[in-house]
């Protein structure tokens, strides 16, 4: 099981970069840089490539609508080259609120677009002449849509690797099925290991049935807020507010993937109430309706006993990479917490799984 850390788009990057150097020394395996309608992730990943030497670098996530497929491929190849083969491409569709509201691009056909982006990226990395005629992308552009001067081209540089790992953020069952079929890694959110099979078991099994064996096993990459200690009420409250924002406010009724996920976990009544209150402007009341069980089961916030329990449950559910957002206030405290978590994960590896994996779990 790999241990990763996430650099949030709102973090003080200079301080965060210093932390990453120390996280690498403390045994972290991967660092992820987030991107929303914020400073871009690519520039920051390039900087981190220069100040680190062993830690893997990944984007969580690069939205597919704000860059062309070939630019995504070029960017990934460049980051992989300058890092010495340490880059992993994290992709996702983001959502209509960001894509249409910030980028001014129609949010259409996310599943089809992601599939085509992955196909085009892998073609670019193999240094093939890029020729793609899909429902969403045409390369070269047909003459009746452009000047008629376009012709198939291949990447000038030679990529360090032709098989840069690609991970996809997906929540809905159809999206999870596609991810399990075509991606190297899967990036779910609000992952409840004991109920993962209820939410995604059938979908992931369907995708794996069509998966190319050459891709290997699916890397299940779970993100969670992380705070080690006994006095963590403030951190739990902040996380509860975040869940309420996503479950209640990310999309309209009937068009909120996070609300649907919590419903599949078995909290349908609570999810409906949270959304109704949040969309009515009663945000504090919505936060109060988030189940305590959901907050604690999907986080790594608590004492060592809680962390051991959660790590065991994640491992039993087939999780292979844990990405944490360290919440400690000082750099030294964050580094100490990562060292402690690394030790707990290593301890679990030496002892083996402590709980049985649920049937159909994500792994």
CA 180 to chain CA centroid, nearest Å = 14
Mean pLDDT to the nearest integer, 319-333: 96
Mean pLDDT to the nearest integer, 92-100: 91
Mean pLDDT to the nearest integer, 316-322: 98
pLDDT bracket for residue 357 (50, 70, 90) = very low
- 140: Cβ–Cβ under 8 A, 6 or more apart, which residues? 130, 131, 146, 150, 151, 152, 153
Strand 138-139 versus strand 132-133 pairing type: antiparallel
Q: With 90 as the cut, is the pLDDT of residue 251 above it?
A: no
What is the rounded CA–CA span in Å between residue 97 and residue 107? Answer: 9
Find the DSSP H helices in 155-267: 173-182, 196-209, 233-244, 257-264
Instruction: Say if residues 310 and 298 touch (Cβ distance below 8 Å).
Output: no
Q: With 80 as the cut, is the pLDDT of residue 351 above it?
A: no
Taking the model in full, what pTM does it have?
A: 0.94
Q: With 60 as the cut, is the pLDDT of residue 115 above it?
A: yes
Mean pLDDT to the nearest integer, 214-234: 97
255-282 pLDDT tens trace: 899 999 999 999 999 999 999 999 999 9
- At 349 the pLDDT is 62
pLDDT bracket for residue 132 (50, 70, 90) = very high
Mean pLDDT to the nearest integer, 87-99: 94
**Structure-block tokens of residue 306:** 């809680």
CATH of 2-229+303-351, one of 3.40.190.10, 3.20.20.30, 3.20.20.70, 3.40.920.10: 3.20.20.30
pLDDT bracket for residue 356 (50, 70, 90) = very low
**Structure-block tokens of residue 96:** 């209509």
8-64 pLDDT tens trace: 888 899 999 999 999 999 999 999 999 989 999 999 999 999 999 999 999 999 999
Of the candidates 255, 261, 291, 257, the residue with the CA atom closest to the CA atom of residue 273: 291
Q: 196-209 and 257-264 are packed helices; what angle lies between their axes, rounded to 10 degrees?
A: 110
């Amino acid at each position: 099981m790999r241990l990763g850390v996430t650099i949030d788009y709102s973090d003080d990057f200079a301080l965060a970069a210093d932390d990453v150097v120390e996280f690498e020394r403390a045994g972290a395996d991967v660092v992820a840089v987030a991107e929303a309608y914020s400073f871009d992730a690519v520039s920051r990943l390039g900087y981190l490539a220069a100040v680190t030497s062993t830690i893997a670098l990944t984007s969580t996530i690069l939205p597919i609508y704000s860059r062309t497929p070939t630019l995504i491929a070029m960017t990934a190849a460049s980051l992989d080259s300058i890092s010495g083969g340490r880059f992993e491409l994290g992709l996702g569709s983001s959502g209509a609120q960001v894509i249409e509201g910030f980028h001014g691009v129609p949010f259409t056909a996310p599943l089809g677009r992601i599939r085509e982006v992955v196909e085009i990226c892998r073609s670019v990395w193999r240094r093939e002449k890029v020729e793609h005629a899909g429902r969403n992308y045409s390369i070269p552009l047909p003459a009746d849509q452009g000047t008629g001067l376009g012709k198939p081209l291949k990447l000038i540089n030679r990529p360090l690797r032709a098989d840069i790992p690609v991970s996809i953020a997906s929540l809905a069952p159809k999206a999870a099925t596609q991810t399990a079929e075509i991606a190297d890694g899967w990036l779910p959110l609000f992952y409840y290991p004991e109920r993962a099979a209820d939410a995604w078991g059938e979908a992931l099994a369907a995708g794996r049935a069509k998966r190319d064996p050459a891709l290997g096993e699916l890397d299940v990459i779970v993100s969670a807020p992380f705070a080690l200690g006994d006095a963590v009420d403030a951190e739990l409250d902040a996380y509860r507010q975040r869940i309420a924002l996503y479950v209640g406010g990310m999309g309209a009724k009937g068009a909120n993937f996070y609300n649907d996920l919590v419903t599949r976990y078995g909290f349908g009544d609570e999810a409906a109430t949270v959304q109704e209150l949040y969309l009515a402007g009663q945000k504090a009341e919505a936060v109060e309706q988030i189940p305590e069980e959901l907050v604690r089961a999907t986080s790594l916030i608590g004492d060592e006993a809680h962390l051991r329990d959660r790590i065991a449950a994640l491992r039993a559910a087939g999780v292979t990479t844990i990405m944490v957002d360290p919440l400690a206030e000082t750099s030294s405290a964050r580094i100490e917490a990562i060292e402690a978590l690394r030790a707990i994960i290593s301890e679990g590896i030496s002892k083996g799984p402590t709980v049985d994996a649920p049937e159909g779990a994500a792994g």
